[in-house]
């Protein structure tokens, strides 16, 4: 779902069309819709709205601002958001501010990247790792 910046309408956009390079437009006002290329901020309050309702798999970075390895993974997560746009929704969840999400998935150390489908965990990768490791995890589940 992409919200139109002009009229505020919610638009269901098939991820395969974005992946094919097509520009989505608002169904109500025909304004071009922004394609998310940055990680979504996931919180205890919006988890179901963003993650469970996502039409695509979700790669969720569980992190904290004081964590050195989390800061080293952050640029990779940004790149993944752009690289996987339309095929996977990338999000970030600050574990200090959102203990509900952390407890829901049993997060005991960070960084952890979770791959979720319909709000359920299908894979995880703990610790700082190269981008290729995160991509491999995601690609295993996109087939």
Domains of the chain: 1-35 (2.30.30), 36-142 (3.40.30.10)
What are 82-139's pLDDT values in tens digits?
888 778 889 999 999 999 999 999 999 999 999 999 889 999 999 999 999 999 999 9
The pLDDT-based confidence of 77 (bands split at 50, 70, 90) is very high
* CA gap 107, 40 in Å, rounded: 19
Whether 67 is catalytic is yes
Q: Which of 4, 26, 29, 70 is catalytic?
A: 70
Within a 13 Å sphere around the CA of 43, how many CA atoms are in the beta-carbon half?
4
Q: Which of 4, 26, 67, 93 is catalytic?
A: 67
Q: Answer with the residue of higher pLDDT: 40 or 20.
A: 40
Q: Tell me the whole-structure pTM to 2 decimals.
A: 0.76
């Amino acid at each position: 779902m992409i919200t139109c910046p002009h009229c505020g309408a919610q638009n269901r956009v098939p991820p395969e069309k974005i992946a094919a390079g097509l520009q989505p437009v608002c169904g109500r006002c025909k304004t071009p819709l922004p394609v998310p290329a940055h990680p979504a901020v996931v919180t205890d309050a919006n988890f179901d709205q963003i993650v469970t309702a996502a039409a695509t798999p979700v790669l969720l970075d569980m992190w904290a601002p004081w964590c050195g390895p989390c800061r080293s993974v952050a640029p990779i997560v940004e790149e993944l958001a752009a690289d996987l746009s339309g095929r996977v929704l990338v999000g970030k969840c600050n574990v200090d501010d959102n203990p509900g999400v952390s407890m829901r998935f049993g997060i005991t150390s960070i960084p952890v990247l979770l791959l979720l489908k319909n709000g359920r965990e299908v894979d995880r990768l703990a610790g700082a790792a190269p981008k290729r490791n995160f991509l491999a995890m995601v690609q295993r589940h996109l087939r």
